[in-house]
C-alpha cells in the first residue's frame, strides 16, 4: 500500500547503495555495487500515466519475507513520495513486484528496496506523460540470447540517459539447453545456459530468467530505463502456436503445462502487471498512451490465436514449378481460416486504434513480434552466389540451394512470420483501415536483422511503415553466406521486394527512435562485438519518417 513518510524517515533510510545515473561512456553504467540479497538487480516497467511496476528479487531466503520499497523524486532518495512493504515467498520465486500508484504523469522517479538489512541499488523510472508532449526517445530491442554473447547493446542503452524507455519485442530469454542453439559461442565465452537442459518446468524457466538477470549490462539497463516488453516464441519454445510448438516434442510432457510454467515465470521475473482478476496470463496486450504524441499498442501473436505454422517439409516434393508454387499459395498459404491473432486481440486492436485516431495522437506504433512486410526470398541466380555455392560445405550449400529455390518460385522462406499468415495480415490491415489508421509504424523483432519497410494491403493501399530490430546477440540464420554474402542477400532482398527499402543482417544492435510532432528519426545502431565486453557503438543507418496525407513515408 502507498503511504507518505516523513523527511526524517527518508534521511534515515537513505544509506542505501546508490546507483547514480552516469554520463555517456562505455562501461560506466555497470559499476553497480554487488548485493547478495538483491543479486538480480531492480527493474521497472508497464507504466501508465499515474502508476508503474517496480521489481526486484530477494536471494537466499526461506519462508515468507517482508521487503520494503521506496519511491522518490530525486536520485538520492531524499524526497520520498511513496513507500510500503510487500511479502514474498517461494510461491513466486522470491520475486517482488509493486504497482506504485498515485504518481504524477510524465515524472521521473527513483526507487529502491530493502530486506534483511541490505538495500538494493536505486533504479530510475518514469510515468507516461499526458497532454502536449514535445518529444520522446525509445530504444527498441529484441532477441537477447545469453548464450550468443554479452548484452553490450543493453549497456549502450543504459549509458544513453536521453532514452525515456526500452521497448523489448520478445525473445527476452531462450529455452535451449547448453548444447543447443549458440552452444559453440557460449562455451568459448563462458556463457553456457543454466539449467544445462532445455527449459520445460516452472523451476527450469525460473532458473533461466534468474541467469539472464545476473548479467551486469541487463541490470544496468533495467535500473536505468523503464521497460515495455512483449514475448515472442523463445520465452516458451521455438515457434509455438495455440496447441503446440516446433520445439516441443511428445516426450517433453504436456504442452499446456509447459506453456503455463513459462508464462508464470515470465510474470514473476518481469516488471509487468498481473492479469485482471479472472483474466488469463496469455491475454497479454496493452495500449500505452504518451499524451498527444504517441500510441503504442502491443500484440500477442503466439499463444491465444495462432494457427499451426505451415511446414515446407510437407509440401517441398510437390513444389518444383511456378504452377505448383501458385497452387500452394492459393490453396494452403492463403487459407482464410488461418489466424495469427485471437478474436479478443483483434477486438482490442480495433477499439484502441480507433481511440488513438479519435484522440488525435500524432503517431501510432505497433509492438509486434515477427516481420509483417511482404518479403519473398530474393533471386540468387547471380554469379556471386553461384561461385559461393562451390565454396560451401554440404549443410551450407543445401541451405543456399533451398534459398535459391524459394527465390525462383517467388515464395517466402520463413512461414513462422506474417508471411505464413497472409489472410491474417489482411485482417490486421482491415482493422487498421476501419479505425482510420493507415499510418501504422510497426516495430518488429524476431528476425535478427534490421529492416526499414513500407507496408501495403492487397489492394496496394499504403498502410504505413515497419522498422525491424536486429538481435541484441542472436545472429542471422544465414551466417553460412558469410559477411559479403549476407550483404548481397540483403541488397537482393530490397531489389526484389517492393516493401523492403533496406535490410541488414550483419549487425547486432538496437533502434533508437527519437519522436516529435514533425518526424520520427530512427537510428539503427550496432555494437561492434558481442563476444567480449569491449565494443564500439556504430550507427550504421538512419531514416526520417514523416506523415504524408493519411499515411507515412521515409524522407
Please give the Cα distance from 171 to 472 (Å, whole number): 10
Helix-helix angle 482-496:383-391, to 10 degrees: 150
Indicate the residue among 35 and 474 with the shorter CB distance to Fe ion: 474
Closest separation in Å from C-beta 238 to Fe ion: 9
Shortest distance in whole angstroms from residue 236 CB to Fe ion: 13
Q: What totals of helices (H) and strands (E) does the chain contain, helices first?
A: 12, 24
Q: Which is nearer to Fe ion, 305 or 468 (by Cβ)?
A: 468
Q: How many residues bind Fe ion (CB under 5 A)?
A: 3
Residues 204-233 touching Fe ion, rule: CB under 5 A, are none
Considering only residues 167 to 196 of the shown chain, the ones binding Fe ion according to CB under 5 A are 171
- Other C-beta atoms lying within 10 Å of the C-beta of residue 87: 10
If the CB atoms of residues 71 and 270 are measured against Fe ion, the closer one turns out to be 270
CA distance 480 to 253: 34
In 3D space, the residue among 492, 522, 491, 519 whose CA is nearest the CA of residue 509 turns out to be 522
The CA distance from 455 to 361, in Å, is 20
Nearest to Fe ion of 67, 369 (CB atom): 369
Helix H or strand E segment including 296: strand 294-298
Please list, in sequence order, all residues whose beta carbon lies within 8 angstroms of the beta carbon of residue 328, skipping any fewer than 6 positions away: 315, 318, 319, 411
Stretch binding Fe ion (CB under 5 A), from 108-116, 140-148, 301-309, 397-405: 140-148
Q: Using the rule CB under 5 A, is 143 a contact of Fe ion? A: yes
Nearer to Fe ion, 129 or 367 (CB): 367
300 touching Fe ion, by CB under 5 A: no
C-alpha distance across the termini of the chain, in Å: 49
In whole angstroms, how close is the CB of 526 to Fe ion at the nearest point?
Answer: 17
3-state secondary structure of 233: coil
Distance (Å, rounded) from C-alpha 390 to C-alpha 546? 45
Give whichever of 474 and 551 is closer to Fe ion, judged by the CB atom.
474
- DSSP H helices in 376-421: 383-391, 394-409
Is the Cβ of residue 164 or residue 171 nearer to Fe ion in the bound state? 171
Is the Cβ of residue 442 or residue 462 nearer to Fe ion in the bound state?
Answer: 442
Integer-rounded Cα radius of gyration of the chain? 23
Site string for Fe ion, 258-297 (x = CB under 5 A): ----------------------------------------
Return the range that interacts with Fe ion (CB under 5 A); candidates 13-21, 23-31, 166-174, 327-335. 166-174
CB of 77 to Fe ion, least distance (A): 37
- Decide if residue 235 touches Fe ion (CB under 5 A): no
Site map for Fe ion, 457-496, x if CB under 5 A? -----------------x----------------------
Residues near Fe ion (CB under 5 A) are: 143, 171, 474
Amino acid at each position: 500500500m502507498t503511504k507518505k513518510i516523513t523527511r526524517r524517515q527518508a534521511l534515515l533510510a537513505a544509506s542505501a547503495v546508490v546507483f547514480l545515473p552516469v554520463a555517456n561512456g562505455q562501461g560506466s553504467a555497470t559499476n553497480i555495487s554487488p548485493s547478495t540479497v538483491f543479486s538480480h538487480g531492480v527493474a521497472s516497467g508497464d507504466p501508465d500515466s499515474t502508476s508503474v511496476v517496480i521489481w526486484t528479487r530477494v536471494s537466499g531466503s526461506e519462508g515468507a519475507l517482508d521487503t520494503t520499497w521506496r519511491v522518490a523524486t530525486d536520485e538520492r532518495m531524499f524526497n520520498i513520495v511513496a513507500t510500503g512493504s510487500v511479502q514474498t515467498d517461494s510461491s513466486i520465486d522470491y520475486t517482488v513486484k509493486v504497482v506504485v500508484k498515485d504518481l504524477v504523469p510524465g515524472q521521473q522517479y527513483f526507487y529502491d528496496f530493502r530486506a534483511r538489512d541490505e538495500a538494493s541499488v536505486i533504479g530510475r523510472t518514469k510515468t507516461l506523460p499526458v497532454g502536449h508532449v514535445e518529444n520522446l526517445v525509445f530504444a527498441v530491442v529484441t532477441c537477447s540470447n545469453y548464450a550468443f554473447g554479452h548484452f553490450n547493446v543493453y549497456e549502450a542503452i543504459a549509458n544513453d540517459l536521453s532514452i525515456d524507455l526500452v521497448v523489448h519485442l520478445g525473445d527476452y530469454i531462450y529455452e535451449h539447453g547448453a548444447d543447443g542453439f549458440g552452444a559453440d559461442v557460449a562455451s568459448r565465452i563462458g556463457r553456457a545456459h543454466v539449467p544445462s537442459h532445455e527449459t520445460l518446468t516452472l523451476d527450469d524457466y525460473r532458473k533461466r530468467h534468474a541467469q539472464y538477470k545476473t548479467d551486469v549490462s541487463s541490470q544496468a539497463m533495467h535500473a536505468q530505463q523503464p521497460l515495455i516488453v512483449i514475448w515472442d516464441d523463445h520465452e516458451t519454445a521455438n515457434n509455438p502456436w495455440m496447441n503446440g510448438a516446433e520445439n516441443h516434442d511428445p516426450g517433453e510432457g504436456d504442452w499446456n503445462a509447459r506453456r503455463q510454467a513459462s508464462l508464470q515465470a515470465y510474470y514473476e521475473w518481469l516488471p509487468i502487471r498481473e492479469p485482471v482478476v479472472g483474466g488469463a496470463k496469455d491475454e497479454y496486450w496493452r495500449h500505452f498512451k504518451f499524451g498527444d504524441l504517441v500510441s503504442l499498442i502491443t500484440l500477442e501473436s503466439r499463444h491465444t490465436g495462432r494457427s499451426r505454422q505451415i511446414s515446407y517439409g510437407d509440401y517441398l516434393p510437390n513444389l518444383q514449378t511456378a504452377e505448383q508454387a501458385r497452387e500452394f499459395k492459393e490453396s494452403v498459404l492463403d487459407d482464410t481460416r488461418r489466424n495469427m491473432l485471437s478474436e479478443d486481440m483483434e477486438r482490442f486492436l480495433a477499439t484502441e486504434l480507433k481511440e488513438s485516431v479519435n484522440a488525435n495522437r500524432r503517431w501510432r506504433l505497433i509492438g509486434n513480434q515477427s516481420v509483417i512486410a511482404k518479403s519473398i526470398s530474393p533471386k540468387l541466380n547471380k554469379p556471386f552466389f553461384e561461385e559461393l555455392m562451390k565454396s560451401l560445405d554440404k549443410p551450407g550449400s543445401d541451405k543456399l540451394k533451398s534459398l535459391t529455390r524459394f527465390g525462383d518460385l517467388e515464395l517466402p522462406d520463413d512461414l513462422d512470420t506474417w508471411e505464413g499468415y497472409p489472410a491474417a495480415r489482411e485482417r490486421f490491415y482491415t482493422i487498421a483501415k476501419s479505425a482510420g489508421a493507415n499510418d501504422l509504424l510497426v516495430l518488429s523483432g524476431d528476425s535478427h536483422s534490421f529492416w526499414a519497410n513500407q507496408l501495403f494491403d492487397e489492394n496496394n493501399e499504403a498502410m504505413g511503415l515497419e522498422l525491424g530490430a536486429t538481435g541484441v546477440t542472436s545472429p542471422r540464420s544465414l551466417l553460412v553466406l558469410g559477411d559479403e554474402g549476407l550483404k548481397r542477400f540483403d541488397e537482393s532482398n530490397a531489389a526484389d521486394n517492393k516493401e523492403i527499402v533496406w535490410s541488414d543482417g550483419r549487425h547486432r544492435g538496437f533502434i533508437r527512435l527519437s519522436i516529435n510532432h514533425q518526424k520520427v528519426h530512427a537510428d539503427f545502431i550496432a555494437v561492434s562485438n558481442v563476444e567480449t565486453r569491449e565494443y564500439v557503438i556504430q550507427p550504421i543507418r538512419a531514416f526520417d519518417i514523416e506523415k504524408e496525407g493519411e499515411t507515412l513515408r521515409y524522407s
